[in-house]
Amino acid sequence: MDDCQSHAPAPAMQTPLHAWHVANKGRMVDFAGFSMPVQYTSIISEHLAVRKSAGFFDVSHMGRLLIRGEAAMEWLDRIVTCRLSDLAVGQVRYGLVCNEQGGVIDDVLVTRWPDAWGLVVNASNHEAVVAWMMAHPVADTTIEDVTSSTVMLALQGPEWWRVVQSFLPESILALPYYRGAIVAKDGTKWRISRTGYTGEYGVEIVAPAAVGEALANSLLQLGAVACGLGARDTLRLEAGMPLYGHELDEQTNPFQAGLGRSVDLSKEFYGCKALEALRGDVHAPVRVGLILDGRRASRQGDQVLDGTGIQIGRVTSGTFSPTLERPIAMAYIRREMAVTGQSVSLLVRDTHVPGQVTGLPFYKRQAR
Amino acid sequence: MNPSDLRYAKTHEWVRADGDECVIGLTRFAVDQLTDVTYIQLPAVGKKVKAGDGLGEIESVKAVSDIYAPVTGKVMAVNTDLSRDPGLVSRDPYGAGWLVRLRVEGAVESGHLMDARAYEAQVSETPH
């Protein structure tokens, strides 16, 4: 058997919870320049804990920026594709940062905090987003990068509220989805939002780095399961959520990714001219879900073929779905083939595996 | 922890000699590294394999790994229980989770195989 793990040289960066991960037997791997736990016990058991009860992830590797100043909103409104001017205080919105060609530089969450505009960016694009903003500056605005001075923990799953009710105020439990609030704790600010990347309800907590270990220990003691990036990936895949570097990159535009509702062409922003033209492009391949026969999973880069063996697209992410107990994948395929129920064939390690096009997401949480 | 009557390949397969046949499986270390085994691809009965050739593949949620033939021979039987229940290889790697039975062709060239003690020494040097 191959060596299952890559023994890359020690990565440069660690989150404030690095020692905690090691102490809790996290299997550490290099991810976007950070040493991160891919799993503690097993990906499937961590995945199912989030679907059935509650699990938490250290997502401190993600970039956290606070933008302030008179023109902060105006600046961000030109940087991201979604409208910001109608956000209520405490509201969160998903948007994209695009280049002038309409390609995606990053996908981000913007929060209108009472005291600043918050931007959460992918670890792999942290520098690129900051560089893009600095290349398009607006007077009288500042960016405070709080990534290394804070931790960010994502608590996810139907039982999330049971876990936090002993240490967070009731107002947090009452927050609607995609809303956030600041909680004062020991003279520090915790920024808490009802967001996540798993398809389950939950909260993402940004707290001072110094309290990270205590917070992680509390979550563990209160019954949440520590989860690694492996489960985070299978959960977001089932939820049909794109991952930068897989479904999104600078050669892909938001429309073909199926993210058109996060693009507001009635406002001015970088890339809007190009996106206006790309909106009606019928030739660009589009993002779809695929369900495969059998148990063998397709992986990023695998070819998608039609019934006659002609290539119609390429897989961007694939795994064995712990919830559906079937292999699932996301792919970009020719638009005319992007029809639910369409039979396709996937070339998985030189073997043709039958599959069907399906709508996204693969999994939707139960209404409650 | 690794049975002393087996021989081990550096690629984490074990070999149990049984007359002119041998049984092949994966070590506890290998399956513990993988966790979450979802699929095991094994060769067709009758296929001839050479030592060092690909014998099949084992897939976890996260990745796919090749399984290599530790000796040269002809596949006499494969463990069909694994297609229904690939987790068997994790639960009982030295017993019910065996992979294939080979008829050894010629003398077993086992110079490249290790005893349990040497294999454990190799594993303990692997960073994990």
For A2-30, the pLDDT digits (tens) are: 554 555 555 579 999 999 999 999 999 99
A250: DSSP letter: T
pLDDT over 60 (residue B128): no
Architecture of domain A63-145: 2-Layer Sandwich (3.30)
Domain A13-60+148-238 fold: Gyrase A; domain 2 (3.30.1360)
CA-CA distance, A231 to A56, in Å (whole number)?
Answer: 10
CA distance to partner chain A, nearest, from residue B70 (Å): 10
CA distance to partner chain B, nearest, from residue A329 (Å): 12
CA-CA distance, A120 to A103, in Å (whole number)?
Answer: 19
Read off the pTM.
0.94
Q: Within chain A, what is the greatest distance between any pair of CA atoms?
A: 66
CB count in 10 Å sphere of residue A184: 9
For residue A107, the SS3 value is: strand
The mean pLDDT value of chain B amounts to: 92
What integer pLDDT is reported at residue A368 of this predicted model? 59
Contact A341/A356 with Cβ under 8 angstroms? Answer: yes
What integer pLDDT is reported at residue A10 of this predicted model? 55
Domain residue spans of chain A: 13-60+148-238, 63-145, 285-358
Task: Enumerate the residues of chain A whose CB falls inside 8 A of the CB of residue B38.
Answer: 295, 297, 320
Give me the DSSP letters along A198-244.
SSS-EEEEEEEGGGHHHHHHHHHHTTPEE--HHHHHHHHHHTT---B
| CB-based contact A1 B128, cutoff 8 Å | no
Q: How confident is the model at residue B60 (pLDDT cuts 50, 70, 90)?
A: very high
Domains identified in chain B and CATH numbers: 7-122 (2.40.50.100)
What integer pLDDT is reported at residue A4 of this predicted model? 47
pLDDT over 90 (residue B66): yes
pLDDT in tens, B76-118: 999 999 999 999 999 999 999 999 999 998 766 677 899 999 9
Give me the DSSP letters along chain B.
---TTSEE-TTSEEEEEETTEEEEEE-HHHHHHH-SEEEEE-PPTT-EE-TTSEEEEEEESS-EEEEE-SS-EEEEEE-THHHH-TTHHHH-TTTTT--EEEEEPSS---TT-B-HHHHHHHHHHS--
- Please give the class, per CATH, of domain A285-358: mainly beta
Digit-by-digit pLDDT tens for chain A (368 residues) are: 655 455 555 557 999 999 999 999 999 999 999 999 999 999 999 999 999 999 999 999 999 999 999 999 999 999 999 999 999 999 999 999 999 999 999 999 999 999 999 999 999 999 999 999 999 999 999 999 999 999 999 999 999 999 999 999 999 999 999 999 999 998 999 999 999 999 999 999 999 999 999 999 999 999 999 999 999 999 999 999 999 999 999 999 999 999 999 999 999 999 999 999 999 899 999 999 999 999 999 999 999 999 999 999 999 999 999 999 999 999 999 999 999 999 999 999 999 999 999 999 999 998 75
Write out the two tokens for B44: 């067709």
Contact B69/B9 with Cβ under 8 angstroms? Answer: no
What integer pLDDT is reported at residue B1 of this predicted model? 77
Query: Could you tell me which chain B residue has the CA closest to the CA of A44?
Result: B36
CA distance to partner chain B, nearest, from residue A328 (Å): 11
CA-CA distance, A200 to A159, in Å (whole number)?
Answer: 10
Write out the two tokens for B19: 């007359």
Contact B58/B67 with Cβ under 8 angstroms? Answer: yes
What is the number of CB-based contacts under 8 A between chain A and chain B? 63
Determine what percent of chain B is predicted with pLDDT higher than 70. 95
What integer pLDDT is reported at residue A366 of this predicted model? 81
Query: Could you tell me which chain A residue has the CA closest to the CA of B10?
Result: A1
What integer pLDDT is reported at residue B112 of this predicted model? 86
